[in-house]
Amino acid sequence: MKLGVNIDHVATVREARYRGLLKGEPDPVAAALASEAAGAEGITAHLREDRRHIQDRDVFALKASIRTRLNLEMADIPEIVEIALKVRPGIVCLVPERRQEITTEGGLDVCAHIKGLSETRCRMNDAGIEVSLFIAPDPDQVEASARVGCQFIELHTGAFAEAFDEPAERDRQFQRLCGAAGLARSLGLQVNAGHGLNYENVHWMQRIPGIVELNIGHSIVSRALSVGIERAVRDMLHLMNTPGSFQ
């Protein structure tokens, strides 16, 4: 599995002190470059409509600076779509977005928005940008994603992560992820996963065949406060891909 490091919360710390300024620390681009040096194969950043962490300038700077692939998380709204078409990241991940939430709380309702998502998918693909849809591990949402024509889905692993200390519910949520991943692959979709994954639960993802990439941010940034970003990334990669790390 590949690791995409989400550097949103590096920007969260910066914005706590330097909001509205064109400078400040820590620098999300520096964190991205350090993540790449440690083995990350992609960088993820969410340009939210309210610009609570990542700013427009960060997205353009990331695209110009990193050597791996930029995964731009975004809501399907006209302003952000136009920015994405100017930046031309390697891939966009379309996510739901609410002003009141602390972080993305759930998956897209693809079933209810097939037409609009299909139109945005076409525009992105025409510009050479791959498209992923961030969805709950629900068969109806997987099938709707295939109808949209996207290249990837990203399975929302939040329910699994939240239930990790409750074995029965954890196992139920894990089976949902396995079933959704299998269905997606049978429909020709590539499968990523993310949300709530950390150093305690990430090794379970080894048991889901065919996962291409995990996108992980908060846990890595949190650990980086103690050990540095490069060590935090290397530790995560070890747990993701070392046979036998599953306990």
Evaluate whether 240 touches 216 at the Cβ level (below 8 Å).
no
Evaluate whether 217 touches 7 at the Cβ level (below 8 Å).
yes
CA dihedral 4, 182, 167, 110 (to 10 degrees): 70
Alpha carbons within 13 angstroms on the beta-carbon side of residue 206 total 17
Annotated active-site residue 46? The verdict is yes
What parts of the chain have a pLDDT lower than 50? 246-247
Annotated active-site residue 156? The verdict is no
| pTM (two decimals) | 0.94
User: Quick one: pLDDT at residue 4?
Assistant: 98
Catalytic residue among 9, 36, 53, 73: 73
Give me the residue label for tokens 């820590």: 26
User: Quick one: pLDDT at residue 245?
Assistant: 54
User: Quick one: pLDDT at residue 73?
Assistant: 98
Catalytic residue among 9, 46, 53, 156: 46
Q: What is the mean pLDDT of the chain?
A: 95
Condensed to tens digits (0 to 9), the pLDDT of residues 17-61 reads 999 999 999 999 999 999 999 999 999 999 999 999 999 999 999
Catalytic residue among 156, 195, 203, 213: 195
- Helices (DSSP H) in the chain: which residue ranges? 8-18, 28-37, 56-65, 78-87, 114-126, 139-148, 158-162, 167-186, 218-227, 229-241
User: Quick one: pLDDT at residue 97?
Assistant: 81
Domain 2-241 has CATH 1.20.1060.10: no
Report the C-alpha gap between 170 and 168 in whole angstroms: 5
